[in-house]
């Protein structure tokens, strides 16, 4: 396993990032296929969900090898590293950190030895009972061959440790498959898991099904992935979603499905707004079509006289298409995006930093000059990007800039795998829409209503999590001090006293 050199990743422009995703997972069981390469391309298709680190674990039936490092999928792997990962089962992960720092130790798949072999696991989501699970791991009895302590400080490693270390009533170590019905019902929060032991690929989804997870079929095997678009890219056909509360196991005996909890669907509505790829379907609804419909409804709710509708590329593009269609105002490209700007390990120099948003977006002056613009974006978190954008469009000669947003104001933090910001950093927390518009320097600002956004997804409102918009969380949450990103780092740094304090009920 290569070891990262300790560098932390940096946003290219700190403070100007949008909502960040919390990981993409991919798994394949396919004897006779190059499973590491299939996983590489699956992760490549899921890169938008996590750009801090990437990893692939492969089993050849007798041992599991894990290769992971900091960086993008294309930076971490090459022909040589993929060529060294031979076998018939693979689990892959692309990470954005929500619990646990962005360091090599927290890259996934996580790996643990068990009494029967080993386990490698990737997780999309974020848990809300991390402190409780840390207590359970600490209290587990020692069994021969099992790793009890590693340097990882993410919630995922706790799941892996629990699955690796369960024992039966007589103290006999359980297999990874036998451990699942004991462990999965105890985990609270969002978890789409893809994991394996030497012989079997597993996939499990939390009872609310907050993050997506789908099953696909290859000619000679099976694939599981965070998004249906990743199936298309590796030549797998869509079979179905992994159901909320379902565990599946795939090996030479075929596919087994079992339930560890009753389904109580609360899919994340933000997947439809921004997170998922437009070519992905979630719960039977295409994401692109949802976004176009959000734009249409936004145009009806918040019309304005203007000459041109432009998107903030690319996440605002489908909603801008819908807004233009419903308003009758022509659609155009007013901004050119540098597609290759993503995460970088290079800290921008002061000169470059001052260029700000121009590193990502450059205005097409010839299109913009003298026009009254409607600028459509998917969401506003802190407002820094939109403020810079409005200024840039005015400098490029826009006569008026009207900002339209295809989701309601983000007022509440997400504890289920999206790193928006703290509540204090959210621009909509404590400001009216008019005040936000003034702060952005826009001629007008309007957001879509919650109901219109939800209706555009075609999913029944009670089956969606909308907590970042309306504060109605889909499950009870522990005290705020038990929810921090650095929860397990605090515990490690503070020793037993801090650990006990965190676990107190």
What DSSP designation does 344 have? B
Give the integer Cα–Cα distance in Å for 385 and 368: 18
Q: Which of 40, 111, 270, 323 touches ligand SF4 (CB under 6 A)?
A: 270
Q: Cβ contacts of residue 394 below 8 Å, gap of 6+?
A: 401, 441
The answer to the question of residue 23 lying near ligand SF4 (CB under 6 A) is no
**Residue 288 phi, psi (nearest 5):** -60, -45
Q: Is 234 annotated as a binding residue?
A: no
In angstroms, the Cα distances linking 256 to 57, 246, 253 are: 22, 10, 8
Nearer to ligand SF4, 109 or 408 (CB): 408
**Pattern 204-233, binding to ligand SF4, x per CB under 6 A?**
------x-----------------------
Among 76, 213, 269, 310, binds ligand SF4 (CB under 6 A): 269
> Smallest distance from the beta carbon of 274 to ligand SF4, in angstroms?
9
Distance CA 302, CA 17 (A): 26
Is 468 an interacting residue with respect to ligand SF4 (CB under 6 A)? yes
Question: How far is it, in rounded angstroms, from Cα 28 to Cα 42?
Answer: 10
Residue 297 or 466 with smaller CB distance to ligand SF4? 466
Find the shortest distance in angstroms from Cβ 114 to ligand SF4: 31
Would you count residue 302 as binding ligand SF4 (CB under 6 A)? no
Q: Taking the complex as a whole, how short is the minimal distance between the CB of residue 466 and ligand SF4, in angstroms? A: 5
Q: State in angstroms the smallest separation of the CB of 203 from ligand SF4.
A: 20
Question: Pick the catalytic residue: 13, 23, 120, 187?
Answer: 23
Exactly one of 164, 454, 465, 488 binds ligand SF4 (CB under 6 A); that residue is 465
Whether 23 sits among the annotated catalytic residues: the reply is yes
CB 208 within 8 A of CB 271: no
Q: How far is the CB of 306 from ligand SF4 (least distance, A)?
A: 30
Give the residue from 67, 70, 62, 61 showing the smallest Cα distance to 84.
67
H or E stretch at 286: strand 285-286
Tokens of 140: 């587990």
Strands (E), 219-275: 221-225, 237-241, 246-251, 254-259, 267-268
Q: Nearer Cβ to ligand SF4, position 64 or 468?
A: 468
Q: Identify whether 62 is preceded by a cis peptide bond (ω within 30 of 0).
A: no
User: What string marks each residue from 416 to 445 as x (binds ligand SF4 by CB under 6 A) or -?
Assistant: x-x---------------------------
Annotated binding-site residue numbers: 268, 315, 377-378, 414, 465, 468
Residues carrying an active site annotation = 23
Binding site for ligand SF4 (CB under 6 A): 210, 268-270, 414, 416, 418, 465-468
């Amino acid at each position: 396993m290569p070891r990262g050199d300790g560098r932390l990743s940096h946003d290219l422009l700190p403070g100007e990032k949008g909502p960040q995703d919390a990981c993409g997972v991919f798994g394949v069981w396919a004897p006779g296929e190059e499973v590491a390469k299939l996983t590489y391309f699956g992760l490549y298709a899921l890169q938008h969900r996590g750009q801090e680190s990437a990893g692939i674990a492969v089993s050849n039936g007798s041992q599991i090898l894990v290769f992971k490092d900091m960086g993008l999928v294309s930076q971490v792997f090459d022909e040589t590293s993929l060529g060294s990962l031979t076998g018939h089962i693979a689990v892959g992960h692309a990470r954005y950190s929500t619990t646990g720092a962005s360091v090599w130790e927290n890259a996934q798949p996580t790996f643990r030895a068990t009494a029967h072999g080993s386990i490698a696991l990737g997780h999309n989501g974020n848990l809300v009972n991390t402190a409780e699970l840390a207590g359970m791991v600490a209290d587990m009895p020692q069994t021969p061959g099992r790793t009890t302590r590693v340097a990882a400080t993410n919630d995922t490693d706790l799941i892996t440790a629990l699955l690796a270390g369960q024992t039966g009533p007589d103290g006999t170590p359980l297999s990874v498959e036998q451990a699942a019905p004991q462990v999965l019902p105890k985990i609270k929060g969002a978890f789409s898991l893809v994991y394996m032991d030497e012989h079997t690929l597993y996939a499990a989804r939390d009872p609310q099904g907050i993050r997506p997870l789908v099953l696909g079929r290859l000619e000679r095997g099976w694939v599981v992935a965070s998004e249906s678009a990743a199936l298309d890219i590796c030549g797998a056909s869509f079979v179905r979603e992994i159901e909320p509360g379902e565990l599946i196991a795939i090996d030479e005996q075929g596919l087994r499905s079992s339930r560890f909890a009753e389904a109580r669907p609360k899919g994340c509505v933000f997947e439809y707004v921004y997170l998922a790829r437009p070519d992905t379907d979630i719960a039977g609804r295409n994401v692109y079509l949802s976004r176009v419909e959000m734009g249409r409804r936004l145009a009806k709710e918040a019309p304005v006289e203007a000459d041109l509708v432009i998107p903030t590329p690319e996440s605002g593009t489908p909603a801008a298409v819908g807004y233009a269609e419903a308003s009758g105002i022509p659609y155009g490209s007013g901004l050119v995006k540098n597609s290759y700007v993503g995460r970088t390990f290079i800290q921008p120099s002061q000169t470059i930093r001052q260029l700000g948003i121009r590193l990502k977006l450059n205005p097409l002056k010839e299109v913009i000059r003298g026009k009254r613009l409607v600028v459509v974006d998917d969401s506003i978190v802190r407002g820094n990007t939109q403020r810079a954008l409005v200024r840039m469009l005015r400098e490029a000669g826009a006569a008026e800039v009207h900002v339209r947003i295809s989701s309601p104001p983000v007022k509440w933090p997400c504890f289920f795998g999206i790193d928006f910001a703290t509540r204090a950093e959210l621009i909509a927390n404590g400001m009216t829409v008019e005040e936000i518009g003034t702060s952005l320097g826009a001629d007008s600002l309007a957001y879509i209503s919650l109901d219109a956004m939800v209706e555009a997804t075609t999913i029944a409102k009670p089956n969606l999590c909308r907590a970042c918009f309306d504060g109605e969380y889909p499950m009870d949450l522990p005290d705020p001090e038990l929810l921090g990103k650095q929860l397990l780092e605090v515990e490690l740094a503070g020793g037993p006293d801090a650990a006990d304090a965190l676990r107190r009920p």
